[in-house]
């Protein structure tokens, strides 16, 4: 056993070295010649958390901003080139100049396509990376062994509520990164259009300069209802997802109690609230869109009429008229989008960011991890080999006392463990050799399909006894210094229980694990037979005193 353990460690080390050789830069997202590094996320208690998330990918996000800005400027320059071509080539009948301007347009379109493609590609990569990093931060906090306190996470500690925050809210909070890309391009194109129009007529240029902030201010004012309704929508959707998750997890119990209609009515009520909250938020967003589009339409008409009047009375050329009208039509898009981005995207991201931060800053349900000395004292207080305690009523107390122990040294295996969808061996250990050994100890060889059998979500494709044996194999594969088992074989028959107890005893009393301990809280005779040490309540109290000391 010791030789096999050494071989497994060598194989794991070789696999890690090979992985580092293939990916020397670590977790870097690559796409062709483009690459994005992990985001520099701020600490959860930072009051400017969302603002710092927006700039967590600098300086690469500035490359995306530059690409989009160049594309926007190329679009705006199209009207300028067309106007110059009309005055210089069409009005004079100069064919050579006409071909020259057509070539300029072709180059302009090429530059526009390349710059926008690069900008959007970088933006998408950055957005995916930030979304991934925020989701990872949330899931790491959710999966922290110390848990989430009752007053944490805004009172939502159900699986469905946390899933909604870790997925939908994390993505919407990461969307704030867009505000460092498109608004830069939109504002830059507005200033460029204003500068060009100023060279034609200062009054029209002034209209462009004053029109942009007016549209933004009106959009922000029109978006006030959306800010509150966006947060209400996310909360309602999270509550609905939580109820749905609870219903699916407890479906057998619900059917057994005959309360399907009650559960259906409960879910219908939450779903109806989520529906109305979503409709209200979408209605506010629709009113905002209508407001910005109406303002843009009025602006285009006003500038067009003013340019026509100037062409008739102040001597604007046909090319200048076309340039002004074309630019006024073009600038409506960045103007309205600038207002909508500040009004809607910031409001939605801020609402989701508050929910994300509520999870990241939630207090722990259990105290901080115990010190090494305290952990070692507890381990030393436990006899080597298999120790059986018949006082099963103490299981809750033992579990609570050992929660502070570091998981790599002490594992308290729950009586009812959760399994994940996928092959059976993947639920035990990533190393197939380690998984196979643990499955053999837990007497899982008779499970149909073998280690490659899909277990289904929550292990629903397995029987209760099979799920319990797979969970036991997973705890054994972790190979801690102290393994605590609570009634680990209640769902299997007596013969299988005896086989499992004998194999566990053989594993932990042999030469392969000379310093490992197993504490079994069970009243089953099979465990009493194989125990190297039998404890009563007094012995257990003395060992737990090492934790409280």
Task: With beta carbons less than 8 A apart as the criterion, state whether 223 and 338 touch.
Answer: no
Higher pLDDT, 304 or 3: 304
Residues 6 or more apart whose CB falls under 8 angstroms from that of 417 comprise 467, 468, 471, 474, 475
Q: How far apart are CA 289 and CA 283, in angstroms?
A: 10
- Give me 490's structure tokens: 């209640």
**DSSP per-residue letters across 252-283:** HHHHHHT-HHHHHHHHHHHHHHHHHHHHHHHH
Q: Which fold has domain 372-548?
A: Rossmann fold (3.40.50)
Query: How many contiguous H segments (helices) and E segments (strands) does the chain have?
Result: 20, 7
Q: How confident is the model at residue 31 (pLDDT cuts 50, 70, 90)?
A: low
Q: How far apart are CA 23 and CA 26, in angstroms?
A: 6
Task: With beta carbons less than 8 A apart as the criterion, state whether 413 and 484 touch.
Answer: yes
Task: With beta carbons less than 8 A apart as the criterion, state whether 130 and 39 touch.
Answer: yes
At 454 the three-state DSSP class reads strand
CATH 1.20.1560.10 applies to domain 46-360: yes
Looking at residue 1, its pLDDT comes to 40
Task: With beta carbons less than 8 A apart as the criterion, state whether 65 and 184 touch.
Answer: yes
At 305 the three-state DSSP class reads helix
344, 345, 351, 352 alpha-carbon torsion, rounded to 10°: 150
pLDDT digits (tens, 9 = 90+) for 217-232: 777 677 667 666 776 7
Lowest-confidence segment of 347-361, 429-443, 506-520 by average pLDDT: 506-520
Q: Is a pLDDT exceeding 60 seen at residue 25?
A: no
User: In the chain, what are the domain boundaries?
Assistant: 46-360, 372-548
Q: How confident is the model at residue 548 (pLDDT cuts 50, 70, 90)?
A: low
Looking at residue 33, its pLDDT comes to 57
Over the chain, what is the mean pLDDT?
A: 80
Instruction: Please state the pTM of the whole predicted model.
Output: 0.65
Q: How far is CA 414 from CA 396, 447, 478, 486, in A?
A: 10, 21, 14, 7
pLDDT digits (tens, 9 = 90+) for 382-438: 888 898 988 767 666 777 777 777 777 888 887 777 888 888 889 999 999 999 999
């Amino acid at each position: 056993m010791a030789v096999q353990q050494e071989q497994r460690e060598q194989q794991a080390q070789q696999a890690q070295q090979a992985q580092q050789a293939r990916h020397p830069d670590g977790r870097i997202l690559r796409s062709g010649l483009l690459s994005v590094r992990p985001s520099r996320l701020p600490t959860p208690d930072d009051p400017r958390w969302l603002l710092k998330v927006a700039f967590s990918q600098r300086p690469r996000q500035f490359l995306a901003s530059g690409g989009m800005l160049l594309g926007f400027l190329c679009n705006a320059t199209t009207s300028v080139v067309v106007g110059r071509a009309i005055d210089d080539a069409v009005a004079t009948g100069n064919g050579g100049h006409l071909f020259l301007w057509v070539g300029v347009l072709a180059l302009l379109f090429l530059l526009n396509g390349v710059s926008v493609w690069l900008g959007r590609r970088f933006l998408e990569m950055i957005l995916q990376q930030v979304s991934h990093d925020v989701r990872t931060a949330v899931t790491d906090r959710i999966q922290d062994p110390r848990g989430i306190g009752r007053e944490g996470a805004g009172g939502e500690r159900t699986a469905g509520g946390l899933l909604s925050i870790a997925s939908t809210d994390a993505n919407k909070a990461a969307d704030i990164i867009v505000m460092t890309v498109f608004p830069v391009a939109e504002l830059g194109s507005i200033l460029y259009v204003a500068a060009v129009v100023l060279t034609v007529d200062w009054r029209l240029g002034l209209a462009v300069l004053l029109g942009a902030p007016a549209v933004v201010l009106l959009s922000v004012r029109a978006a006030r209802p959306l800010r509150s309704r966006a947060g209400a929508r996310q909360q309602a959707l999270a509550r609905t997802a939580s109820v749905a998750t609870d219903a699916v997890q407890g479906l057998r119990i619900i059917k057994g109690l005959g309360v399907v209609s009650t559960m259906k009515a409960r879910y219908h009520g939450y779903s109806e609230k989520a529906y109305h909250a979503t409709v209200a938020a979408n209605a506010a967003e629709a009113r905002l869109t209508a407001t910005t589009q109406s303002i843009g339409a009025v602006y285009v008409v006003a500038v067009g009429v003013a340019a026509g009047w100037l062409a008739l009375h102040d001597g604007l050329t046909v090319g200048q008229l076309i340039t002004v009208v074309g630019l006024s039509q073009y600038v409506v898009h960045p103007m309205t989008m600038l207002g909508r981005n500040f009004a809607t995207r910031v409001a939605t991201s801020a609402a989701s960011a508050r929910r994300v931060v509520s999870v990241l800053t939630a207090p722990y349900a259990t105290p901080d991890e115990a010190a090494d000395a305290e952990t070692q004292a507890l381990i030393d207080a436990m006899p080597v080999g298999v120790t059986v305690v018949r006082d099963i009523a103490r299981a809750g107390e033992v579990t609570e006392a050992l929660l502070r122990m570091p998981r790599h040294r002490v594992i308290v295996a729950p009586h009812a463990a959760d399994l994940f969808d996928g092959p059976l061996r993947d639920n035990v250990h990533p190393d197939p050799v380690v998984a196979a050994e643990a499955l053999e100890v837990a007497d899982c060889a008779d499970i149909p399909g073998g280690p490659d059998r899909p277990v289904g979500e929550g292990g629903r494709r397995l029987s209760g006894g099979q799920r319990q044996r797979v969970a036991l194999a997973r705890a054994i594969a972790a190979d801690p210094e102290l393994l605590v088992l609570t009634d680990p074989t209640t769902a299997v028959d007596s013969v299988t229980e005896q086989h499992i107890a004998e194999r566990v005893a053989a594993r932990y009393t042999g030469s392969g694990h000379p310093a490992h301990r197993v504490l079994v809280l069970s009243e089953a005779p099979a465990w009493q037979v194989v125990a190297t040490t039998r404890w009563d309540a007094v012995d257990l109290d003395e060992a737990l005193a090492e934790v409280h000391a």
